[in-house]
């Protein structure tokens, strides 16, 4: 069998990046890494410890006290994130974290810290990692890069359905504002802004089912492997 590769999936908020990445990793028996979870975990730590995002010295000290790792849950075989030994996989999905994560993720030292961890994880390849700058900054030499997009209305609806199960009081307007703000901050930040890599394949899943987008990604994988074997 040919050597394993790195597959990156970047794109706008609520495009289904995580859904595709998880399914693809499972199909290929690769490790799935949710880079966004890493930033959410750091954001959780900052909120819990009242870290001042404008104080560079305080930020650097905080990062020294943070350890993030992904551990596979033996019951569902899903990779879950741990913050300083605590499983925070579900805590970090709260809307409060979603409202703050882009601000924290835009901090230079935070990105430097997270990228270093991500690159260490990917050293042995065999991973599918999704995020905002994975194909451009974290793994610019990844063998397969996918950039996901979808109509805004569709993204808002998808996110609303997901969040409503956790918080029935959430509104479509809140979700729309949150998505717009996150996309703006992520695409305009000074360090590693969200953008499509020149060699990334765009996947617009506005009208695609989960199976159809997975089939799309699998075809890219098979094409890449055939080109290597030739």
Per DSSP, the three-state class of 162 is helix
Give the pLDDT confidence score for residue 79 in this predicted structure.
84
Note whether residue 73 is domain-resident: yes
Domain containing 170: what range?
6-218
Number of compact structural domains in the chain: 1
pLDDT in tens, 76-107: 878 899 999 999 999 998 889 988 998 999 99
Q: What Å distances lie between residue 145 and 29, 200, 224, CA to CA?
A: 18, 5, 11
Note whether residue 227 is domain-resident: no
Note whether residue 229 is domain-resident: no
Note whether residue 228 is domain-resident: no
Note whether residue 114 is domain-resident: yes
> Given a cut of 70, is residue 123 above it in pLDDT?
yes
Note whether residue 178 is domain-resident: yes
Which H helix or E strand runs over 183?
helix 172-188
Note whether residue 16 is domain-resident: yes
Please report, for the domain that includes residue 199, its CATH number: 3.40.50.300
Note whether residue 138 is domain-resident: yes
């Amino acid at each position: 069998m040919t050597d394993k590769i790195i597959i990156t999936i970047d794109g706008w908020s609520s495009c289904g990046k995580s859904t595709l990445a998880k399914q693809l990793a499972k199909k290929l028996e690769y490790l799935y890494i949710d880079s966004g979870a890493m930033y959410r975990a750091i954001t959780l730590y900052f909120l819990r410890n009242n870290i001042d995002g404008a104080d560079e010295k305080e930020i650097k000290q905080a990062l020294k006290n943070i350890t993030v790792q992904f551990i596979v849950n033996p019951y569902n075989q899903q990779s879950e994130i741990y913050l300083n030994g605590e499983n925070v996989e579900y805590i970090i999905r709260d809307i409060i974290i979603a409202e703050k994560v882009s601000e924290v993720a835009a901090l230079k030292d935070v990105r430097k810290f997270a990228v270093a961890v991500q690159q260490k994880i990917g050293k042995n390849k065999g991973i599918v990692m999704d995020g905002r700058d994975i194909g451009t900054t974290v793994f610019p030499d990844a063998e397969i890069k996918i950039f996901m997009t979808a109509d805004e209305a569709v993204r808002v609806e998808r996110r609303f359905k997901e969040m409503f199960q956790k918080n029935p009081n959430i509104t479509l307007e809140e979700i729309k504002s949150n998505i717009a703000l996150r996309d703006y901050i992520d695409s305009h930040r000074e360090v590693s802004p969200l953008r499509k890599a020149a060699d990334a394949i765009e996947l617009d899943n506005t009208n695609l089912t989960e199976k159809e987008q997975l089939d799309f990604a699998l075809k890219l994988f098979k094409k890449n492997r055939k080109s290597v074997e030739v």
